């Protein structure tokens, strides 16, 4: 999915702007910004490690994967989230894909001057922000859904209801369904906005999505 994210859109949106337009409470926005900023910092550390290993001619992606997996879990804990099986698997998948895509496009090139403009994207701050904000929504939307299932009977999908909403999301505006059912989003299913449980192969429905889900009785 990370590969698809990189291919679909190479322009990150500032955290306050991205989360600020969503149908979220002030706390939800603050939590997502905090997650994104911490994830961005940790991904920058990954870049340093990746570059160091290149300089030392060390090519052991398992080390990078393990480090990045732990980073993801540490970020969750830092914002008060105890990783369960879903989030642990998300951290594992993210780590494997992020390392694989970075390696595929950068390989073992040692000097930045030898990278093409397209390759430099894979070591850019913009890419870090792009992935950090996407993971913030994916993780926190899940946590909120998991909590809501215990307390509410229904859920409602909200779009930003403007010209930027993708065509497959337009019909979902205001749609309310029982909380245990799934929304039909294009050709995939989602329990909540940006859910990757069933939509892992449909990143076009997830990347830069500004939709949100609210819960009620």
Supply the Cα-derived Rg of the chain in whole angstroms.
18
Determine how many CB atoms are found less than 10 A away from the CB of residue 173: 14
The confidence score (pLDDT) of residue 114 equals: 73
- Mean pLDDT split into 10-residue runs, the chain, 217 residues: 50 82 91 95 87 74 92 94 93 91 76 74 86 92 96 96 90 97 94 85 79 95
The confidence score (pLDDT) of residue 145 equals: 97
Helices (H), the chain: 2-8, 15-20, 26-55, 61-78, 85-106, 117-120, 125-148
**∠ CA 117-110-123 to the nearest 5 degrees?**
45
The confidence score (pLDDT) of residue 115 equals: 79
Element spanning 177, H or E:
strand 176-178
The confidence score (pLDDT) of residue 9 equals: 47
Record the pTM. Answer: 0.86
| Domain extent listing, the chain | 2-216
């Amino acid at each position: 999915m990370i590969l698809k994210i990189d291919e679909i859109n190479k322009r990150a949106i500032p955290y306050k702007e991205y989360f600020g337009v969503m149908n979220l409470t002030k706390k939800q926005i603050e939590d997502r910004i905090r997650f994104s900023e911490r994830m961005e910092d940790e991904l920058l550390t990954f870049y340093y490690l990746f570059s160091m290993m290149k300089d030392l001619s060390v090519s052991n992606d398992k080390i990078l994967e393990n480090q990045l997996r732990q980073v993801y879990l540490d970020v969750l804990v830092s914002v008060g989230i105890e990783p369960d099986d879903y989030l642990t698997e998300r951290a594992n998948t993210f780590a494997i894909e992020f390392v694989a895509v970075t390696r595929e496009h950068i390989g073992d090139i040692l000097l930045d001057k030898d990278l093409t403009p397209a390759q430099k994207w894979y070591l850019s701050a913009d890419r870090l922000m792009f992935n950090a904000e996407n993971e913030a929504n994916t993780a926190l939307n899940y946590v909120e859904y998991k909590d809501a299932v215990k307390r509410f009977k229904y859920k409602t999908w909200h779009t930003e209801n403007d010209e930027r909403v993708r065509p497959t999301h337009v019909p979902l505006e205001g749609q309310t369904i029982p909380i245990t059912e799934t929304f039909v989003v294009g050709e995939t299913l989602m329990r909540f906005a940006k859910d990757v449980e069933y939509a892992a192969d449909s990143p076009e429905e997830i990347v830069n999505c500004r939709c949100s889900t609210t819960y009620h009785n």
